[in-house]
Structure formats: C-alpha cells, structure tokens
Amino acid sequence: MTIISSKIRIFAWTNIIYIRMKHIRNFCIIAHIDHGKSTLADRLLEYTNTIKVTEGQMLDDMELEKERGITIKSHAIQMDYVLDGEKYTLNLIDTPGHVDFSYEVSRSIAACEGALLVVDATQGVQAQTISNLYMAIDHNLEIIPVINKCDMVNAMPEEVEDEIIDLLGCKREEIIRASGKTGEGVDEILRAVVERIPCPVGDENAPLQALIFDSVFNSFRGIIAYFKIVNGSLKTGDEVKFINTLKDYTADEIGVLKMELSPRKELHCGDVGYIVSGIKTATEVKVGDTITHVNRPCEKAIAGFEEVKPMVFAGVYPIETEDFENLRASLEKLQLNDASLTFQPESSVALGFGFRCGFLGLLHMEIVQERLDREFNMDVITTVPNVSYLVYDKHGGVKEVHNPAGMPDVTLIDHIEEPYIKASIITTSTYIGPIMSLCLGKRGELLKQEYISGNRVELHYSLPLGEIVIDFYDKLKSISKGYASFDYHQDGFRPSKLVKLDILLNGEPVDALSTLTHVDNAVTFGRRMCEKLKELLPRQQFDIAIQAAIGAKIIARETVKQVRKDVTAKCYGGDVSRKRKLLEKQKRGKKRMKQIGNVEVPQKAFLAVLKLD
C-alpha cells in the first residue's frame, strides 16, 4: 500500500513539473539596428502589466544606451501572461542589433527556445537581420517573423512580407504585422509566442545543470550571475559548483529577473534566473560556464557555447601611471558585463604600462572607453586600433602579432598574412557604384552580386579586416545616405605586402602611433598622418619635426614651428651686431631646449588616424 501511494506521489509530482514547464516560454528579439526591438519590448511589458512604461526603451537602462538610442547589452525580464484562462511565464531577452554586439545576441540565443525576428516595414530585410537569423537557425530556434513600424506613412508591408517569405520560406499568414509605437499586433505576438514557441525540455529529477549567459558586478553583493536551468532544480542555501572554474559556493539568494531582482525560494527546470553567492573576484565567473550541485554534480558541462573572437586590437593606458592596478580591476568588472572584451598587460615606451584589449569593432571600442570613464571614473588613452597578423620568419616559424611594436626585424620576416572577412552589403541599386568604388579602394574583391527584391541588391565582398576597422562603416553610411547595411564574418588569413609605418617626433618613435599598413597606401597614409599631427600638436619653445618612416626611410615630414620671443624688440638704433648677438644667444638656447625637451602627445592625436578624411 505504501509503495503504491509513493508511486502516486512521484507521478503527481512529475505531472506538476510537466504542467509547470509547459507554461514557460523563453524567447529573444533579434533584428537589425534601429528596427524597433526595444520599443516593441516596451509594448509587450506594458500589455502583460509587467511594468508601467514611463519613457521609451525601458530595458535600455544604461545612460549610454539612452543617449545614443541603441541597445548595447542584452536584457532579460520575466512577464506573466494569461491566455484562454491559463497563466504562462514568458522570459524575454531584448538583444542589440549592431554588428559589434553580435556576441551578446549569440549568448541570448543559447538561453532561448524561440525568437521574434523583427523587420522594419520601411527598410525591409537588412544585413544584420540575416546574420542574426542564421545564428538562431543554427541553434534550432522557432522563428516568429514580425513586421514592425506598420503605422508609418512610408511602410511597405507587402514588399517586406515577400522578402521574409524568400528568406524563411514561411507562409504569408505566419507573418505578424505590428507597431511598437501604437501597440498594434502585440496581442497577436504574445499569442504566437505561447502557441508556436516550444516549452523548455529538461529533466527536473536529473542533477542540476544551469548555463550562465550573463553576469553583473554589484559593489555590495559581489558578482550576480544570470543563468538558465537546463536540468534539475536549485534552492536557496544549496551548495553549488561552477564546473569550469572548479569553485564551490553557497546560493545565498536566487530569484527571477523582473525590472528589479525578485527573490524566490526555488527555481526549476526551464527557469531563467539569477544567483547571488558573495563572489568578489571577477575571474571566478565565466559566461558559458555550467552551475551544478556539489553533492550531486552533473556528468559534463553544457556544450555549444562559442568563444569570442576579437576583431580589433588597441592599447588602453591610464593617464596616471599609478592607476594601472585600478584600470586592471575596472576592466575585470567590465568584462563580467561584457564578455566579448578581452585584455592582457603590455607596456609602451611612450605610455608606460597598460593593456592590449581586443574588441569586436570600432563602436565596441568606443563604448568600452566611454563606460570606463563613466562607470569606473578611469581616464585612459586609447592607441590606434589594428588587427592581428601572422608573421612568418625565414626559419619557418610563425608568430601572431597584435601590435606593430611586436613586429620582428624586417630582415627576419619571410612574409606576413593578414585576416580577411566575407562582407555582405545590402543596399538599393542607386548606390551600387559608390559602394563598389569604396570597396575597391579598400582592396576589396567582389564575390557575388544578387538582387533580393525590386531594386534591393546584396553585394558579397572579400575584404582585408585591417582596411575596414577604422572608417569603412561610417563612409558606407555616408555614401548610401544611411540606406546600406553591413555585416561580416571572418574568412581566414592571406599573404599580403604589409609594412610597419613609424611616426617620429624629433627623431624619437612614438610606438603608440605606429601602424601596419599595405605598401601601396603607406606614403599617402604617412603624409596625411604628419599633416594631421601638425594641426594637433601644441607649439613648443623649439621646432618639432614630425616624420613618417618605413624602417630607416623617411617618407613624409612636417614641422611645427617654435614659439619665438622677439628678443630684438628692445634694440632701437645702434649697431646690427648687437641684434645678431641676441639672436645667436636665443638660437643656442633653443638648441639646448630641443635636446632636453619632451613633446606631449594629446589624446586626440591618437584618435586622429580614425578621422583622417
């Protein structure tokens, strides 16, 4: 009798777990930049009575996000939704749309079973839309296509529907027309999330397996990790272990992600939540790590979380040398919240001790610099950005170089290989000519050109990464009047004729201004650098010679003239030899000053290379 009753209890408990998991939906919103993801997320939160929307983009809580009107961080939030008398728990993750923050999207996708693919009714399918869609399809996510901004006067929903059908192969009735501004279609979207996106699959009775997809640093509570439970369950007070770092902790507080952290006694299979365990060291939490129980650990970590690949490298140095350790701590805390940032210590003759940081693009680099200033009060100097190269020596050895200062002597180099990318540019046929000229000027090679629909065309180019990291995206937006979209992925390394271009000030090389450039561009680039520095360097009491050099060969020169006092002003009348004597004395003083004088290079000079045009 006891055996039968215990079996009934187990069956009843399993049934409750199944019913509870059946009412959970984990989904994210993916789209190209500025297609209205965050505004649509506001309407979903408002419709489900999760929060009262007082201003636009409630999930974009960072000051920088509000200023620039872009999403930088993915944001998770839980909503409660009632459909046909049944209550559902919807875990939404709003993701960034810019190509520089695609790693945020990949992490969000790993924690979901479905995605809303949002397309702007006025612009149609863009490059990052396609890129994010392929990422979601690779993770077997259920895709719900949504056409946003249907209330706009210049909206073209029929044409955009045709593009989505070509892209996804879905039926026309599966596409939802909506407006994040007016709230049109929001009810239909929520119904589709419940009906089309599958519930999480997992075993409540298996050992705990939870994937960490994000983390933040709180100065009072330590590191707070965000996770999704794939198998098992977690209670407050449980002893847990992080598999990759092999560290044990106590789950002091667990809970779900509302607008604020909302504590819970227990979280189950399929839930998205957070854990506070008093971790103070930033390196102990890794995004993509697996949480399990100490007493009953799972057999293996959750697989399939890809490592970040930095595309652009730049030196970040504190203005005051004694701030080096503070900068290290700030970068570690920032890395918790931005897993795509990588860094390692390095030193420079001109700038002292700092870090070589890896970024996903120029906007990412700019945002990191801005966040260091605002969130950690760190004044830093950022050097000229560049990419990593493979340098082959004459003995068959190979070395990866991120910094021009790390280049071996020219006589030892056999050849250099630089990274290439496959770029996808979507634009209207009006701008094909100027865009092709831009790509050819950047040593691009046209791989394919195909018409998507109407007068919209997709260009596939093979381009050297070093040519696009500085100003390519800005120029593309300018010549296409904002109508071209751009996305890229790495395509290996190829041999190239590269030279190290040094900038000398009074004969002394400034290693922070050194760059690796193609031999065909070196003279023009060196001349423009010298001209720009002549404008930016403040005048001194002595002449400053600005030179661009390849090895021992000077290829360009400019001079910043000295500030001179008129020493002969007090001489009125008298012999000319008196004036000459005063001028000779001044000349000797200037020469002596030049030998001991230092030239201070302002921060804007390091960024001058970015804005040479």
Residue 168 pLDDT > 70, yes or no?
A: yes
Nearest to 435 by CA among 447, 427, 518: 427
Residue 57 pLDDT > 60, yes or no?
A: no
- Indicate the pLDDT class of residue 1, thresholds 50, 70 and 90: very low
Nearest to 500 by CA among 414, 417, 410: 410
The answer to whether the CB of 414 falls within 8 A of the CB of 404 is no
Per-residue confidence (pLDDT) for residue 431, from 0 to 100: 85
Residue 606 pLDDT > 70, yes or no?
A: no
Nearest to 371 by CA among 62, 34, 56: 62
Contacts within 8 Å (CB) and 24+ apart, 253-261: 256/78, 257/76, 257/77, 257/78, 257/91, 257/226, 258/50, 258/77, 258/78, 259/50, 259/51, 259/58, 259/77, 261/224
Q: What is the CA radius of gyration of the chain?
A: 29
Residue 10 pLDDT > 50, yes or no?
A: no
How is 78-98 classified by DSSP, letter by letter?
EEEEEETTEEEEEEEEE---S
Average of per-residue pLDDT across 390-416: 82
Say how many CA atoms lie within 13 Å of 391 toward its Cβ.
22
Average of per-residue pLDDT across 58-62: 53
Residue 235 pLDDT > 70, yes or no?
A: yes
Per-residue confidence (pLDDT) for residue 9, from 0 to 100: 43
Contacts of 505 (CB under 8 A, 6+ apart): 537, 544, 545, 546, 599, 601
Average of per-residue pLDDT across 67-87: 73
Residue 13 pLDDT > 50, yes or no?
A: no
Residue 71 pLDDT > 50, yes or no?
A: yes
Most confident of 35-49, 307-321, 423-437: 423-437
Q: Can you tell me which residue has the tokens 């922070």?
A: 512
Average of per-residue pLDDT across 118-143: 81
Q: Give dist(CA 550, CA 425) in Å, integer.
A: 34
How is 418-458 classified by DSSP, letter by letter?
EEEEEEEEEEEGGGHHHHHHHHHHTT-EEEEEEEEETTEEE
Residues 239-248: pLDDT tens digits? 888 887 778 8
Residue 578 pLDDT > 80, yes or no?
A: no
What secondary structure, in 3-state letters, does 197-234 show? CCCCCCCCCCCCEEEEEEEEEECCCEEEEEEEEEECCE
The amino acid present at 401, given as its one-letter code, is: V
Residues 444-477: pLDDT tens digits? 899 988 887 767 788 999 998 888 877 777 788 7
Q: Give dist(CA 15, CA 13) in Å, integer.
A: 5
Report helix, strand or coil for 390.
strand
Phi-psi region of 474 (alpha: psi -120 to 50; beta: other; left: phi over 0): alpha
Q: Can you tell me which residue has the tokens 């520089």?
A: 100
Per-residue confidence (pLDDT) for residue 462, from 0 to 100: 92
Q: How many residues does the chain have?
A: 613
User: Is the sign of the CA dihedral 156, 162, 166, 167 positive or negative?
Assistant: positive
- Indicate the pLDDT class of residue 349, thresholds 50, 70 and 90: low
Q: What are phi and psi of 47, to 5 degrees?
A: -65, -35
Per-residue confidence (pLDDT) for residue 569, from 0 to 100: 67
- Indicate the pLDDT class of residue 12, thresholds 50, 70 and 90: very low
Lowest mean pLDDT among 38-47, 87-96, 227-236, 467-476: 467-476
Question: What is the pLDDT of the chain when averaged over all its residues?
Answer: 79
Strand partners, 421: 463, 490
Per-residue confidence (pLDDT) for residue 74, from 0 to 100: 64
Beta-carbon count within 10 A of 364 CB: 25
% of the chain residues with pLDDT over 90: 1
How is 265-291 classified by DSSP, letter by letter?
SEE-TT-EEEEEEEE--GGG--TT-EE
Residue 279 pLDDT > 70, yes or no?
A: yes
- Indicate the pLDDT class of residue 592, thresholds 50, 70 and 90: low
